[in-house]
A and B are shown apart, each in its own frame.
Chain A
Amino acid sequence: MYPSIARFPKALVFVFGCALGAMPAAGAEEAAKVPAKTKEPVKGAIDRPQVLAPGYTALSFDPPDAGTYSLPPIAPAPDGRVLKTDGSEASLHDAFGDKYVVLSFIYSTCDDVNGCPLATYVLYRLYQTMQKNPELAENMRLLSLSFDPQNDTPEVMRLYAENFAGKGADWLFLTTESNDVLAPILADYGQGVNRVYNEEGESTGQISHVLRVFLIDPERRIRNIYSVSFLHPDLVLADVRTLMQEAAAGGYQAAAAKSKPPLRTRELMAQASHTPLGLPPLEAPEGQEITAARVDLGRKLFFDRRLSGNETLSCAMCHIPEQGFTNNTMSRAVGMEGQSLRRNTASLYNLAWQDPLYVDGRERHLHTLTWSELLDLKRMGNRSVGVVLDKLRGLPDYEDLFEDAFDGQSADMVTTGVAMATYLRTLVSGTSPFDRWRFGGEEGAMSPAAARGYELFTGRAGCASCHEVSEDHALFTDNQLHNTGIGWHHSMGKEPRRQVMELGGGIRIEMDMDALAGTEERSYNDLGLYEATQDPVDRWKFRTPGLRNVAETAPYMHDGSLPTLEAVVEFYDQGGFEHPEQDERIRPLGLSDADKADLVAFLKALTGDNLRLLEADAEAAPVGVPAGEGS
């Protein structure tokens, strides 16, 4: 025999005696008193001892702070046809209203205090909290969906809802047209129910079920499923707040990435915060703190070919990770659409300690340098700042990345530059055989030849007067600009009639330069630092490069004119190209063949121990247009 409408109010009192009695008081203490009330027999009550679910009482532990954990999406929340209390039909999805939904399956005549009444009690507590908290009220919705359409008609649900009538928060009571409409919903949500029949085969009105309450996000994904033992208002609220924080942080993926950066990013950051042996501590400029989000964004920018004018070039195409973050096959770089650049691509290891930047020292900051590169029509070839920023702001795979990395700031000149600078700054490399030998006390770490080479380097050959080595670290540069004669020779010396020409990477032929007359763009002398200062004394001065990983960064000199380390040593042994403006420290050295071999052995001992790691990190970065976004 089904419960009739007439007896419904009584059933309601019974079923929710516990909850309704306690709810207005709302405190956990009051809730704890509930057992006393349930013991007051109401007609029809089942007399059996009850252990109340934790949801009725105060939590025995502090709930986790919102945002300290993540709730991976479990499954899309299924849809279905439901009826509202006014009898109108709606889809369950519409009923979600793009809010954080707490969905509870109930039936109005449930008499299991740890079943539907628990769910409704917890929802009521949430309801009260929402009423006091406009942010929650605006973003949350409670849904109670009956799985007893025969008894719980829209009218029954309306009467039921009246018990919870209030203002300022959202709680909808729903039912379905029939069991046929209901069945697929229950199946989809995995909410098993069984009607209980008596021995005569008549329904007792009870429906056996397992309590399940669902937390659904505005994207209609199930994010948590609560059962009787941990359905508690405090836990639900912590979860809702966690999801709201997650949305503010750019969604689950972004929030998850934020909570734990990828391993490779953490490795880069670890190296930056505890620099390898032989390097000084790394200090990022004020306001440019190294964070995982910035490293990841910077790396993404660095490898993104879409950042060039015609979307063909990325930074990494000249600064090739597996070629020492430079290009081993070309003496001078080739830019946009094959345009010849005047200089050798600089390696990017240990840039964090470089100031000034560029071989002519014309730049002072990595974040501003980024824009020099992006806007140079011969390099990345972007016609304007806006072309780049509009692109970044429109690319879906960059959505929220800037905001996450820069405290809500979107892509602008500074944030773009700082992201790039941050990634570059993490490309530190040390702990070379030399470092272990010199700073780590490992006598056997470097060969005797290299050790002899070091003696020459710091002694007779005088290399260390510019490529400095300090007591506890070595950057192998004085960060100054000098005239060794390479630039002067190129500008002022007579060009040999026959020269080696590069046809492509590594392919060279010797040819008569007259054959090229008229086919080339006019080339201009490279005057080095003078080009920035306009001071004649600065002509042909170029920056002292660091020598770490120098064995990996051929060819050498600002113009890539020396192909091997042997050639470099030879060049300095001969005293560079002598001329009046030459740095006085460059002079013939009188090195023996053995001395030169020792020096080369030393230079080869400057290769850091993490190059493969930096390469692997770089290789994991997406190159070019993400799949499915080609145009």
Chain B
Amino acid sequence: MRPRGLSRLAPGCTRGHGVVRLLAPGFLAVAFSALGFAVGAAGPVTDGPGDYKGSYDSPDYVTRSFSLESRIGKKADLLAIVRDTPLGLPPLPVPENNPLTREKVELGRKLFFDRRLSLNGTQSCAMCHIPEQGFTNNELATAVGLEGRDVGRNSPTLYNVGYKTRLFHDARESTLEQQAWQPMINPLEMANPSIGWVMAKLREFEDYDGLFESAFGERGMDMNTVAEALASYQRTLLAADSPFDRWYYGQDAEAMSESAQRGFELFSGKAGCSGCHTIGEDHALFTDEQLHNIGTGYERAMAPAPTPRPVTLAPGVFVMVDPDVVAMVSAPGSGNDLGRYEVTGDVDDRWHYKTPSLRNVALTAPYMHDGSLLTLEEVVAFYNRGGVPNPLLDPRIRPLGLSEQEEADLLAFLEALTGDYRPLVLDAFVAPIGDVGSRYDDSSPP
């Protein structure tokens, strides 16, 4: 059963009521066909339908979560990717006091995939930043933390996160090192009782014996080195050299379709996208690292909540429930999401969220800070409408008057921003999940 018009119901739907927004089953199938993924190709797989979902209510539901059996990893030389950054990316900034080393990256990856680093040993970083789902979660609008807790915002992708100078949707953090502990001790996310508790746990895990020492010398494990290792791994997740990059920076006229080329013209011209999703002379990060009000947050906060609302029971399985019933079983909401205001306390910052990069955007559905737009088509249509008018709307957001063909061209352009991400996904599969280890092809990296 799939409610029609779900995406119209979506904004303003459930945040603050302890309920998780769900996504329309099947949307990914559309995305895949658009991307032309070869499903079931020989060799290690990073894309396509994941685990068997035959017993699900909804036969058209497609997940990209892989069963453990189908996760066959292959180590990548992440440091080499960083040294010679893929076409379209600038040199990677690395903090002076945390230079990248193989030991740190490997330790960071181990930590990233370690479910034991949560209160009840069930949740790792990678469970919201899922490698085969664009290092975000394609199946949830807003992230779900420990024991079903509502995190309230969409998981951001980690591709090219090393270039961000401001982290989180409200830009409240400035470095990956400083960011690392926060999901671990956030009661809604990994919910650890304290930093010291996690460190005490790590000291007891024999499989970490010597790893901090070999990565950090006599500093060993401390609050900083845990964070530095996690930051180091995430920093290596560079994905570019997309059709766009090869066309624009690589001067390969054939690399991008004509439709995408027209999309680029619109993107940097009539549609004004590149006003915030900036493109540079030698490289493009597709973000100005600033925060803007486009109206999604305003609508969610101010528009009346629809009744009844869809509630996800399991991926692809949901029911329509009256909000009063939801309230009876939910934790009290944390109130409206006010975006940047929650950090600055400045009323003019209400519903301002950070411009996300658009690299690999076809891999990172759903969209917006609250995951309220399920497909890139919806995103393009949203901007074509002029966002959601509100007193704090960024003046650059205005009706664009794009034709259907122009919308399709923009979409083609966005889909041409998918970089060479597969080695990163396969490399991620090498990391052991929980206590079941991992399967990977350990022939030396190419």
Residues of B with C-beta under 8 A to A417? 223
The answer to the question of B60 belonging to the interface, with a C-beta cut-off of 8 Å to chain A, is no
Chain A-chain B contacts (Cβ-Cβ < 8 Å), number: 88
Q: Write out the residue numbers on chain A whose beta carbons fall within 8 Å of the beta carbon of B345.
A: 310
- Which candidate, A120-128, A342-350, A357-365, A484-492, is the interface stretch facing chain B? A357-365
* Structural contact, B224 and A371, CB atoms closer than 8 A: no
Interfacial residues of chain A within 355-400, with CB under 8 A of chain B in the complex: 356-358, 360, 362-365, 367-369, 371-372, 375, 383-387, 389-390
Q: Are B224 and A414 within 8 A (Cβ)? A: yes
Chain A residue nearest to B219 (CB atoms) is A287
Answer whether A384 and B197 are a contact pair too, CB < 8 Å, given A367-B223, A390-B174.
no
Within 8 A of B (CB), among A518-535: 521-522, 531-532, 534
Within 8 A of A (CB), among B152-187: 167-168, 170, 172-175, 178-179, 181-182, 185
Instruction: Tell me whether A534 and B119 are in contact in the complex, defined as CB-CB below 8 angstroms, given that A368-B195, A368-B199, A383-B172 are known contacts.
Output: yes
Is A412's CB within 8 Å of the partner chain B? Answer: yes
Do A368 and B172 touch across chains, with their CB atoms under 8 A apart? no
A363 to B200, CA, bound (A): 9
Is the CB–CB distance between A522 and B332 below 8 Å?
A: yes
CB within 8 Å of A: which B285-327 residues? none
What A residues does B197 contact at CB under 8 A? 362-364, 532
Contact between chains at A413 and B173 (CB < 8 Å): no
| Contact digits for B371-387, partner A, Cβ 8 Å, 1 yes 0 no | 00000000000000000
Nearest-Cβ distance from residue A407 to partner chain B, whole angstroms: 13
A384 touches B173 (CB 8 A): yes
Q: Does B84 contact A (CB under 8 A)?
A: no
Contacts of A386 in B (CB 8 A): 167, 172-175, 178-179
- Cβ of A413 and Cβ of B178 under 8 Å apart? yes
Q: Is B400 an interface residue (CB 8 A)?
A: no
Set of chain B residues within 8 Å of A363, measured between Cβ atoms: 193-197
Which residues of A sit under 8 angstroms from B120, Cβ to Cβ? 534
Instruction: Give Cα A21–Cα B12 distance, bound, in whole angstroms.
Output: 91
Against B, the Cβ 8 Å flags (1 = close, 0 = not) of A123-150 are 0000000000000000000000000000
Question: What distance in Å separates the Cβ of B136 from its nearest Cβ neighbour in chain A?
Answer: 20
Note all chain A residues with C-beta closer than 8 A to B185. Answer: 371-372, 375
Given contacts A364-B199, A413-B227, A522-B332, contact A383 B170 (CB under 8 A): yes
Chain B residue at minimal CB-CB distance from A364:
B196
Q: How far is the CA of A360 from the CA of B222 in the complex (A)?
A: 22
CB-contact partner of A384 in B182, B195, B222, B332, under 8 A: B182
> Do residues A364 and B194 form an inter-chain contact, with CB atoms below 8 A?
yes
Smallest distance from the beta carbon of B225 to chain A beta carbons, Å?
9
- Size category of the A interface is 20 to 34
Question: In the complex the two chains form, is A521's CB within 8 Å of B196's CB?
Answer: no
Of B167, B223, B343, chain A has the most CB atoms within 10 Å of the CB of: B223
Is B222's CB under 8 angstroms from A385's CB? no
Tell me if A368 and B196 are in contact (CB < 8 A).
Answer: yes
Q: In the complex, what residues of B have CB within 8 A of residue A531's CB?
A: 193
In contact, B179 and A385 (Cβ under 8 angstroms): yes
- Specify which of A364, A369, A387, A414 is in contact with B172 (CB 8 Å cutoff): A387
Residue B77 interfacial (CB < 8 Å): no
Q: Contacts A368-B199, A386-B174 given: A375-B193 contact, CB under 8 Å?
A: no
Q: How far is the CB of B152 from chain A (nearest CB, A)?
A: 13
Q: When the two chains form their complex, are residues A387 and B332 in contact, meaning their CB atoms are under 8 A apart?
A: no
Of the residues B167, B168, B222, contact of A414 by C-beta under 8 Å: B222
At the interface, yes or no: B420 with Cβ under 8 Å from chain A?
no
Cβ-closest chain A residue relative to B334: A377
What's the least CB distance linking B216 to chain A, in Å?
12
Please report which residues of chain B, range 90-122, place their CB below 8 angstroms from some CB of chain A when the two chains form the complex: 119-120
Shortest CB-to-CB span from A367 to chain B, Å, is 7
Contact with B along A521-553 (1 / 0, CB 8 A): 110000000011010000000000000000000
Q: Is the CB of A389 within 8 A of B178?
A: yes
Kindly report which residue of chain B lies nearest to residue A367, judged by CB atoms: B223
In the complex the two chains form, what is the Cα distance from A362 to B193 in whole Å?
A: 6
CB distance from A547 to the nearest CB of B (A): 24
From residue B427, how far is it (CB to closest CB) to chain A in Å?
A: 28
Q: How far is the CA of A363 from the CA of B199 in the complex (A)?
A: 10
Judging by beta carbons under 8 Å apart, are A384 and B193 in contact?
no
Partner of B194 from the list A372, A383, A389 (CB cut-off 8 Å) is A372
* Contact indicator A521/B119 (Cβ below 8 Å): no
Whether the Cβ atoms of B195 and A372 lie closer than 8 Å is yes
Could you tell me the distance in whole angstroms from the C-beta of B227 to the nearest C-beta in chain A?
Answer: 7
A28-52 interface code vs B (CB 8 A; 1 in, 0 out): 0000000000000000000000000
> Which residues of A sit under 8 angstroms from B394, Cβ to Cβ?
none
B172 proximity list for chain A (CB < 8 A) = 383-384, 386-387
Do B332 and A371 touch across chains, with their CB atoms under 8 A apart? no
Partner of A368, one of B167, B168, B173, B223: B223
Does B173 contact A532, Cβ atoms closer than 8 Å? no
Chain B residues 244-280 with CB under 8 Å of chain A are: none
Shortest beta-carbon distance, B153 to chain A, in Å?
A: 13
Report the nearest A residue to B121, measured CB to CB: A534
Give, as a whole number of angstroms, the nearest-CB distance from A354 to chain B: 12
Task: For the complex formed, measure the closest distance between the CB of A411 and the CB atoms of chain B, giving whole angstroms.
Answer: 11
Nearest CB in chain B: distance from A496 CB, A: 25
Chain B nearest CB from A396 CB (Å) reads 20
Complex contact A413–B170 (CB within 8 A): no
Residues in A neighbouring B173, C-beta threshold 8 A: 384-387
Quick one: which of B202-234 are within 8 Å of A by CB?
A: 222-224, 227
Q: Are B179 and A414 in contact (CB under 8 A)?
A: no
| Complexed CA–CA distance, A166 and B167 (Å) | 55
User: Distance in Å from the Cβ of A253 to the closest Cβ of chain B?
Assistant: 27
CB-defined contacts of B331 to chain A, threshold 8 Å: 522
| B337-363 contact mask (Cβ, 8 Å, vs A): 1 or 0 | 000001101000000000000000000
Contact call A375/B224, Cβ cutoff below 8 A = no
In the complex, chain A residues whose CB is within 8 Å of the CB of B194: 358, 362-364, 368-369, 372, 532
Q: Which residues of B contact A412 (CB under 8 A)?
A: 224
- Among the interface residues B120, B179, B185, B196, which one has the most CB atoms of the partner chain A within 10 A? B196
Docked CA distance A371–B224 (Å): 12
Which chain B residue lies CB-closest to A370? Answer: B195
Quote the shortest CB–CB distance from A562 to chain B (angstroms).
Answer: 26
CB distance from A533 to the nearest CB of B (A): 9
Q: How far is the CB of A434 from chain B (nearest CB, A)?
A: 31
- Pairwise interchain contact A364-B200, C-beta atoms closer than 8 A: yes
Residue of B nearest to A365 (CB): B196
Q: How long is the Cα–Cα vector from A365 to B202 in the complex, in angstroms?
A: 14
Question: Given contacts A367-B223, A413-B223, A534-B120, is CB(A385)–CB(B196) below 8 Å?
Answer: no
What residue in chain A is nearest B174 (Cβ atoms)?
A386
Chain B residues with CB under 8 Å of A387's CB are: 172-173, 343
Assess A384 versus B179: contact at CB under 8 Å? Given A364-B194, A375-B185: yes
CB of A415 to closest CB in B, whole Å: 9
Residue of B nearest to A534 (CB): B120
B332 to chain A, nearest CB (A): 6
Interface pair A357/B196, CB less than 8 Å apart: yes
Query: What are the residues of chain B within 8 A of A375 when measuring CB–CB?
Result: 182, 185
Question: In the complex, which residue of chain A has the Cβ closest to the Cβ of B332?
Answer: A522
A382 CB, min distance to chain B CBs, angstroms: 9
Q: Which residue of B lies closest to A363 (CB)?
A: B194
A contact residues around B227 at 8 Å (CB)? 413
With both beta carbons as reference points, the residue of chain B lying nearest to A533 in the complex is identified as B193
Residues of B near A383 (CB, < 8 A) are: 170, 172, 342-343
A385 touches B223 (CB 8 A): no
- The 7 lowest CB-CB distance pairs between A and B, nearest first, are A362-B193, A364-B196, A368-B195, A532-B193, A363-B194, A385-B178, A368-B196
Task: Give me 9 A-to-B residue pairs in the complex whose CB atoms sit less than 8 angstroms apart, sorted by A's number.
Answer: A367-B223, A372-B194, A383-B342, A384-B179, A385-B179, A413-B178, A414-B223, A532-B193, A534-B119
User: Measuring CB to CB, which residues of chain B are less than 8 angstroms from any residue of chain A?
Assistant: 119-120, 167-168, 170, 172-175, 178-179, 181-182, 185, 193-197, 199-200, 222-224, 227, 331-332, 342-343, 345
- 7 other A-B residue contacts (CB within 8 Å) besides A364-B194, A368-B194, A383-B170: A360-B193, A362-B194, A363-B194, A371-B181, A383-B172, A386-B167, A390-B174
